[in-house]
Amino acid sequence: MAVSMTMPILIVDDYNTMIRILRNLLRQLGFTNIDEACDGRAALAKLRTKDYALVISDTNMAPMSGAELLRRVRSDDRTKATPFIMIANDPSEGADVQARAGASSYIVKPFTAQSLKAKLEPVIGAF
């Protein structure tokens, strides 16, 4: 099945510049339905009201970390199968969150549109 470029994607980061960068990279890749949340609590509120096809979240946020957000997403029957990609500062942090919390994948900062696409395709399919 082909990936829909209008699938709803939620970006979660407490750093507005990173949200802008990620939104622009996703647009470069052709995605058009992109929402954002400034922290884990705001993301959970959005996840309660809308079904997202993908969540991309920073690992290090306050007051709720990306790992805690992921644990809550995975513990909810409605959202537990939602593809979830963590943004990490280094490979060991990303691998740790993926293994412990059940992330679908992770990407290490800094990244380009092509490296993001390489991380997205195994999770959501080729596009």
Longest dimension (CA), the chain: 38
Q: Spelled out in words, what is the top-level CATH class assigned to the domain 9-120? A: alpha beta
| Best CA proximity match to 49, nearest among 60, 37, 58, 39 | 37
Is the pLDDT at 31 greater than 90? The verdict is yes
Is the pLDDT at 28 greater than 80? The verdict is yes
- Copy the structure tokens of residue 114: 């092509």
CA–CA distance from 118 to each of 29, 106, 121 (Å)? 11, 11, 6
Other Cβ atoms less than 10 A from the Cβ of 101: the count is 20
Q: What is the pTM of this model?
A: 0.94
| Best CA proximity match to 107, nearest among 98, 83, 99, 21 | 98
Nearest 10 degrees: Cα torsion 25, 70, 82, 113: 10
Amino acid residing at 84: F
pLDDT tens for 76-105 read 999 999 999 999 888 777 667 776 778 999
